[in-house]
């Protein structure tokens, strides 16, 4: 770190003035202005000179420049065309960074990894995410089984708590199940609003997700596992039976079969979705095929 780092109020303001840049709230533009937080993110990421890093939303390059100093290569996706000349300027000292001016939800990420990061031993995704699309970004990358070993990502605190929630807790839901199916999750640090320009309206958290080498549960159909866990939380206060009566096609007609399926999976129909472990959802998922009338 040095006094020319981008992640300081002084340098960030100077860049904003130089480029006449105005933040777009709709793109989740809250830039980091604290080098300590960036250092914490980098340390949690276990990056070394053989690591390839993917960054979503480099902004003006505050995190990117520190990643470029630590990793072998950085591949950054930035949707906002106005930031491209700023990044060309701020990242000019580094020849190991590629900036792709694309929407991360539309980009062909796997192809870009093959083109730019194929000679890296390990690939990490490290980002201060645009909060309005945290879940689609992560789910898209996880569901497509991209070759990413882990993720260290800043997001809205409430969403981070849902990703990392344990069974039975208030934040536990279908997002916790989906994330924990693919990764081991860990809370890194809670971040105050004051380290951003402009400060966001919500608190933030950095979460680390380590991709599992082997799935935590064996299921015949991953999508069905997530559909069933979403269905169980359709109305949090309802029992699992009542939620499945409404989410399963013609569930009212086939209530007895739903009861049979729950019983064959050792699930008490009066339980609520938040009390079921991922192993129990996997049971439900693998048993469903025995009940041809029950489709979701």
Ligand X SMILES: C[S@@+](CC[C@H](N)C(=O)[O-])C[C@H]1O[C@@H](n2cnc3c(N)ncnc32)[C@H](O)[C@@H]1O
Binding site for ligand X (CB under 6 A): 27-32, 56-59, 62-63, 77-80, 83, 103-105, 128, 130, 133
> Which residues are bridge partners to 186 per DSSP?
208
> Does 224 count as an annotated binding residue?
no
User: Which is nearer to ligand X, 35 or 265 (by Cβ)?
Assistant: 35
> Does 140 count as an annotated binding residue?
no
> Does 78 count as an annotated binding residue?
yes
| Min CB(3)–ligand X separation in Å | 18
User: Which is nearer to ligand X, 81 or 256 (by Cβ)?
Assistant: 81
| Min CB(49)–ligand X separation in Å | 22
> Does 128 count as an annotated binding residue?
yes
The residue number with the shortest CB distance to ligand X is 57
For residue 134, count CB atoms less than 10 angstroms from its CB and return exposed for 0-12, middle for 13-18, buried for 19 or more: buried
Cα(150)–Cα(57) distance, rounded to whole angstroms?
Answer: 17
Cα(87)–Cα(77) distance, rounded to whole angstroms?
Answer: 11
* Angle at which helices 255-264 and 278-287 cross, to 10°: 120
> Does 103 count as an annotated binding residue?
yes
Cα(85)–Cα(260) distance, rounded to whole angstroms?
Answer: 62
| Min CB(105)–ligand X separation in Å | 5
> Does 36 count as an annotated binding residue?
no
| Min CB(23)–ligand X separation in Å | 9
Q: Which stretches within the chain are classed as H helix?
A: 9-19, 35-44, 62-70, 84-90, 109-116, 134-143, 157-163, 174-182, 222-232, 240-247, 255-264, 278-287
User: Which is nearer to ligand X, 128 or 174 (by Cβ)?
Assistant: 128
The binding site consists of 30, 32, 57, 78, 103, 128
The binding site for S-adenosyl-L-methionine consists of 30, 32, 57, 78, 103, 128
């Amino acid at each position: 770190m040095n006094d020319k780092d981008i992640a300081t109020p002084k340098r960030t303001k100077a860049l904003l003035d130089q480029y006449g840049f105005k933040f777009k709230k709709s793109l989740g533009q809250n830039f980091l202005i604290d080098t300590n937080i960036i250092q914490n993110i980098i340390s949690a990421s276990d990056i070394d000179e053989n690591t390839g890093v993917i960054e979503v939303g480099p902004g003006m390059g505050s995190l990117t420049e520190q990643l470029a100093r630590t990793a072998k290569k950085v591949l950054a996706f930035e949707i906002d065309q106005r930031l491209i000349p700023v990044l060309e300027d701020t990242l000019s000292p580094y020849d190991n960074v590629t900036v792709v001016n694309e929407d991360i939800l539309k980009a062909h990420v796997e192809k870009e990894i093959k083109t730019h990061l194929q000679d890296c031993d390990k690939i990490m995704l490290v980002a201060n995410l645009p909060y309005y699309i945290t879940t689609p970004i992560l789910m898209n990358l996880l569901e497509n089984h991209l070759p990413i070993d882990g993720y260290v990502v800043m997001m809205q605190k409430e969403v981070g708590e849902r990703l990392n929630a344990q069974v039975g807790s208030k934040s536990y839901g279908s997002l916790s199940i989906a994330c924990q199916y693919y990764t081991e999750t860990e809370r890194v640090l809670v971040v105050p609003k004051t380290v951003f320009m402009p400060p966001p309206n919500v608190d933030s958290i950095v979460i680390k997700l380590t991709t599992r080498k082997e799935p935590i549960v064996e299921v015949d159909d991953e999508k069905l596992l997530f559909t069933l866990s979403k269905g169980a939380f359709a109305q949090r206060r309802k029992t699992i039976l009542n939620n499945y009566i409404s989410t399963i096609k013609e569930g009212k007609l086939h209530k007895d079969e739903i009861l049979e399926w729950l019983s064959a999976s050792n699930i008490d129909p009066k339980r609520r979705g938040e009390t079921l472990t991922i192993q129990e959802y996997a049971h439900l998922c693998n048993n469903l095929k025995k009940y041809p009338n029950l489709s979701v």
